[in-house]
Every structure is written in C-alpha cells, then in structure tokens.
Amino acid sequence: MKDQHYSMKDPSDWTKEDWEMYKRDESRTEYTEEQIKQIENELDYEQHMKDKTMTTSFKELNKIDVNQHTEKKGRFTYLSWAWAWQQLLARYPDSTRTVYENTYGQPYIKDTHGVMVKVGVTVNGIEHIEYLPVMNHQNKCIPADKANMMDINKAIQRCTVKAIARHGLGLYIYAGEDLPDSDTESKPEPQKQTWESLAIPPPQPEKPELLPDTQRFELCKNWLQKPTNTIQKLRERYTISKEVEQLLLK
C-alpha cells in the first residue's frame, strides 16, 4: 500500500521524509523555515535516543552467559525459549512478542516450498523480526503437506529465541562462539608463536628427544617461564635428559 501523502496526515505524525516533501512544496504557507528546522532537530533527537536505547539494551543482553541453559542436539545448539523470555522480561518488562499471521489468521506462511513462521520481538519500542522454516529434528524443512500444529508451534518458539537473540541475548550461539562479551572491552594482544601453537603430535611410546640449541628447545624454555608450566608436563611430550633439563631450568 502506497504511503499516504503528507498533506493527508496530521502534522504531529509527519516523518522526516514528510517534512522534506513539505519543504519542496511551493504551496506551503503554514510553517516558517525556523519552525521546520526546529521540528527536524526534534526528529533527529528522537532517532538519536532510539539508537542509544537500542545500543544500551543490546550490550546488556549480549554480555549474559547463556551456556548453562543450552542443549546440544547433533551439530546444533538450542537455547531454552522459556529461559530466554524470562531473562528478557526480568530486564525489560515492557517487551512484547508478535507472532505474525497470514490473511486467514493462521500463524504461518505456507506454499509449495514448505512452511515458514514469522516472529517479532520488541524491546524498548524497537522490534526485530525473524523468519524460520518449520523443520524436523534433523533441521531439514518439513514438506508443506506433512507439517502439523506441533511442528509449527516448535518453530514459533525457536523463532522467538532467534528474534530475542537479535536484541543481543544468546546471539553468539548463532555466530559459533563459545563465550559472550565481557563487561570490560580489551584489545587482543598480538599472537606470539609458542610451542603449543606449533604442530606437535600427541604423546607416543617413543617421544622425540628435546635437544639444546634448537628452535624447539628455545620455545620450551620460554614456555617454562610461566609459573603454571612445569618440566613434568614437558616430559609428557619429549624425552628430556638431565643435562637438557638443567639447561631448561637455568
């Protein structure tokens, strides 16, 4: 449906685009240039506050560790929709969910390719919408003539979790990460090559001998500088003579 012309709206409902159209309208007589500029500044401020609110809520939700509330099924990780919803409402009680319906009032979209659900979650007046096909336990789409109401209900709950994730909660699950953001942001230090980063084979019956004056020897010697690293751990990978041990600990 085409947007309504600005002249047919109440000025209090005008968007920034409406005001731009109004300025280009030579027949305008109601507002002065100063009034238009003031209203545009107010619209910019409203958008700024909206963006700021979204950034704040995202950071708070994104730093929550959800790992204890997930379940692994095959290659996929699932977050409990009930827990996710509880965490969201505990912090933003005015949050709402919208399950979108088709023209017949059914909570899904169906065609020859399969069945799709659409869910929106609104936090602080900002809605994020997610789509999800109705799938089986192998995460394969269920044919349209095979999907039942239980399949659709499960898809709606999973889609709800993904829509919540767009606001930050558990988003790292879908990025393949193991841990959420921490409270303190820090720049990663440049990676230094260590003996652990090299291609070291697992312990074997005949362990390679660690010899002095080699690159491997120098790496191991540096590795032992850390209090948590011991010569005993090193012996699990290498055959180390008494003479070499003395050089390492020197």
Condensed to tens digits (0 to 9), the pLDDT of residues 169-211 reads 988 887 753 444 444 444 555 565 554 555 444 545 567 888 8
pLDDT tens for each residue of 34-70 = 666 666 666 665 655 555 555 678 888 988 998 888 8
- Number of structural domains (the chain) is 3
Whether 181 is in a domain gets the answer no
- Reported pTM: 0.52
Rounded CA gap, 89 and 199, in Å?
48
Q: Which domain holds residue 218?
A: 195-249
One domain, residues 110 and 145: yes
Q: Is 189 part of any domain?
A: no
Residue that the structure tokens 């004056």 belong to: 213
Phi, psi dihedral angles at 3 (to 5 degrees): -60, 145
Q: How high is the pLDDT of residue 25?
A: 63
Residues 153 and 170 in one domain: yes
What pLDDT, on the 0 to 100 scale, is given for residue 69? 87
In a domain, 3, yes or no: no
Name the token pair of 209.
């001998």
Residue 78, domain CATH? 3.30.160
**One domain, residues 44 and 79:** no
Q: Is residue 179 part of a domain?
A: no
| pLDDT, position 137 | 82
Are 161 and 77 part of one and the same domain?
yes
Question: Same domain, yes or no, for 71 and 147?
Answer: yes
Q: Which of 104, 136, 101, 122 is nearest to 50 (CA)?
A: 122
Buried b (16+ CB within 10 A) or exposed e, 210-249: beeeeeebebbbeeeeeeeeeeeebeebbebeeebeeebe
Q: Is residue 184 part of a domain?
A: no
Q: What is the pLDDT of residues 76-128, one digit of tens each?
A: 788 999 999 999 999 999 999 999 999 999 999 998 889 999 999 999 888 99
| Beta bridge partner(s), residue 117 | 132
Tell whether 102 is covered by a domain: yes
> How far apart, in whole angstroms, are the C-alpha atoms of residue 64 and residue 245?
46
Q: Encode 75-103: b = buried (16+ Cβ within 10 Å), e = exposed.
A: eeeebbbebbbebbeeebeebebeeeeee
- For residues 129 and 74, membership in a common domain is answered with yes
Pick the last residue of a domain from 43, 60, 77.
60
120 and 206, same domain (yes or no): no
Q: How far from the centroid of its chain's Cα atoms is residue 27's Cα?
A: 49
Classify residue 89: in a domain, yes or no.
Answer: yes
